[in-house]
Structure 1
């Protein structure tokens, strides 16, 4: 889009562009989302920025009316495979907070100087500014929706000090954290409760049912419209509970270490595909004779991801050539034998374990696994490759390379590698053409290139049509 197209979107208050760019008004010093309900500013007073961090670096404050810092992330990062897209996914996952810019640059294969130049040239802000914006978003949500002490919030959001936390919040929102809390309604619970934003429409019930049908005993459970699961996080385990709120997803987190808050939120967003643009997907399929009717009948259908790509890869191997129910049973046996038990204070309901780590599975003699000899060899080979780093499935990985490395492993074919890429790596453009259900739903052999870059959604629409 050029600036004139962006201004037309702002004039039309088109919410489909929220999160894709930001409008900064020079006369007020405020930046907004495109759908802001305030009076449209004159074109000569408006600048556009690709990220909230770029607007803040230019000296603008977040609008108190439309609250642009709460918009879902740009779907562009789900599609892009270049170094900027990979770096953005890592930053959103908290990589800068955990290891600094040096580790971020190393993860994408660039020097700190090169990465800073790339991000600044394309996004208007460097990695530190982008990470600071993510911290501020997390901190504001915690201030307004929890009873956590301000000191705990500062460190949970990734700030190095309380002073840095206070200064950043004032600079970005023109209010002190205590002023924000004074206007908020708090749930009065030791559980961290968050509101996760998304773009309408959203068929959350269908997505949670999809996850519930595949829930692994001990690791996941689904009942009464509420999905819960354990999370393996950098500083310790956690539990996430996801359910429908009023215009948002209600997310309740219990964490062994609050420093993992940002990473836990990103994993939940990835699991529910909350950064998708359903309007763009619907427009792609609207005139398609095969997918159009199903897409119209199921508005807001998402392509669910997964919070732990390594776990998803192991489960994909377990699911080869067996039913969903059989795959659940096999995974449950694996969890019972090799999963990591949760501390008693974290256990809730049927959630008792973390899914076995690749290192633990790699150390198991293949003959001891509750699988056939060939499947056991495939699983231990995959676990060893993940544990050694030979196969990288992290948020900043190169998806093409990851898929090639998976295909190099014995016993992993096109379906398994593509399924891991679609759900584990969150790629929106994967078509499972060899899947039995997809073949059953297809009438003939269509040209799936017409469905790009949303072929993952085409796969889910075909499954849903059955």
Structure 2
């Protein structure tokens, strides 16, 4: 989890220092920040600075979703370990969880920025976006490196985002997602099931199957979401099993992983990214 967050930390918004993850947050108009680090035994220690004490329970719940802390891994592992490859990967990383998101709009923006480019390039673009359109963090004692909160949809809806250095079509998609959130503030609220989650996302201009499944997995916490055409997944399976794999073959293989395909995907991504 920490390696995943470290690779995707946006300058000004997040930092990973040693084994501590910190980020700025905006919630109901207020600004704050939190840090999470390992504590004694298997516990995590949360440091939260937010001006409204009544909001802290909701903020903690969102942090738990971000870190996937409420997932019961035992039944997931029992099911996935029927596949010898996944049994090996799970044995190597038995505590691996699926990273969530602090905010659905932020995650959708990250996903669109990451379309057809590397993680590093997407994070650099996200840093430019935060610096130009995010509000300065209104917090006195924030950790070093936290300077802004993520841009609000209203700041992005009418902006020329392509000027940040991305294809004009991608800038149009980002502006469209921002306008869609303004039109429907519940756009990224949990849906009834995976089908409804995907249909809500695929209705947005420029959002395709990969982006929809990625957001469904991390924001809607749809454990069976599975972007079968993802290059990272295809490369991971090919590298781990020693031969080329098509998206059709991967999708067929993943049928046995239902209803936990998202956790299988996280193990494949992590194993392939590991040094």
- TM-score, scaled relative to structure 2: 0.89
Which consecutive residues of structure 2, in runs of 5 or more, have no partner in the other structure? none
Question: Which whole-Å CA distance do the structure 2 matches of 1:387 and 1:330 have between them?
Answer: 23
For residue 418 of structure 1, the aligned residue among 202, 210, 213 is 213
User: How far off is 1:285 after superposition?
Assistant: 1.9
1:267 and 2:62 equivalent?
Answer: yes
Q: Partner of 2:5 in structure 1?
A: 211
Retained in 2: the 8 A contact 1:220–1:230? yes
Q: Tell me the SS of whatever aligns to 2:89.
A: helix
Retained in 1: the 8 A contact 2:32–2:138? no
User: How far off is 1:348 after superposition?
Assistant: 2.3
Question: Which whole-Å CA distance do the structure 2 matches of 1:344 and 1:248 have between them?
Answer: 27
1:465 and 2:271 equivalent?
Answer: yes
Alignment root-mean-square deviation, CA: 1.8
Retained in 2: the 8 A contact 1:312–1:420? yes
Q: Partner of 1:137 in structure 2?
A: none
Question: Which whole-Å CA distance do the structure 1 matches of 2:24 and 2:172 have between them?
Answer: 27
Q: Partner of 1:38 in structure 2?
A: none
Judge which range, 253-262 or 388-397, deviates more. 388-397
For residues 89-136 of structure 1, give each alpha carbon's deviation from its aligned partner in whole angstroms, at most 9, with x where no partner exists. Answer: xxxxxxxxxxxxxxxxxxxxxxxxxxxxxxxxxxxxxxxxxxxxxxxx
Which consecutive residues of structure 1, in runs of 5 or more, have no partner in the other structure? 1-206
Q: Partner of 1:244 in structure 2?
A: 38
For residue 370 of structure 1, the aligned residue among 165, 173, 182 is 165
Q: Tell me the SS of whatever aligns to 1:340.
A: coil
Q: Partner of 1:349 in structure 2?
A: 144
When Rg is computed on C-alpha atoms for both structures, the one with the higher figure is: 1
Retained in 1: the 8 A contact 2:210–2:230? yes
Task: Give the structure, 1 or 2, with the largest relative contact order (CA under 8 Å, sep 6 or more).
Answer: 2
Q: Partner of 1:309 in structure 2?
A: 104
For residues 407-444 of structure 1, give each alpha carbon's deviation from its aligned partner in whole angstroms, at most 9, with x where no partner exists. Answer: 12222110001101111222211112111011112255
Retained in 2: the 8 A contact 1:235–1:259? no
Question: Which whole-Å CA distance do the structure 2 matches of 1:362 and 1:223 have between them?
Answer: 33
Q: Tell me the SS of whatever aligns to 1:243.
A: strand
Q: Tell me the SS of whatever aligns to 2:84.
A: coil
- TM-score, scaled relative to structure 1: 0.53
Question: Which whole-Å CA distance do the structure 1 matches of 2:167 and 2:29 have between them?
Answer: 35
**Structure 2 CA distance for partners of 1:369 and 1:303, relative to 1, 3 Å:** same
User: How far off is 1:386 after superposition?
Assistant: 1.4
User: How far off is 1:368 after superposition?
Assistant: 4.0
Question: Which whole-Å CA distance do the structure 2 matches of 1:269 and 1:353 have between them?
Answer: 22
Q: Tell me the SS of whatever aligns to 1:307.
A: coil
Q: Partner of 1:449 in structure 2?
A: 255
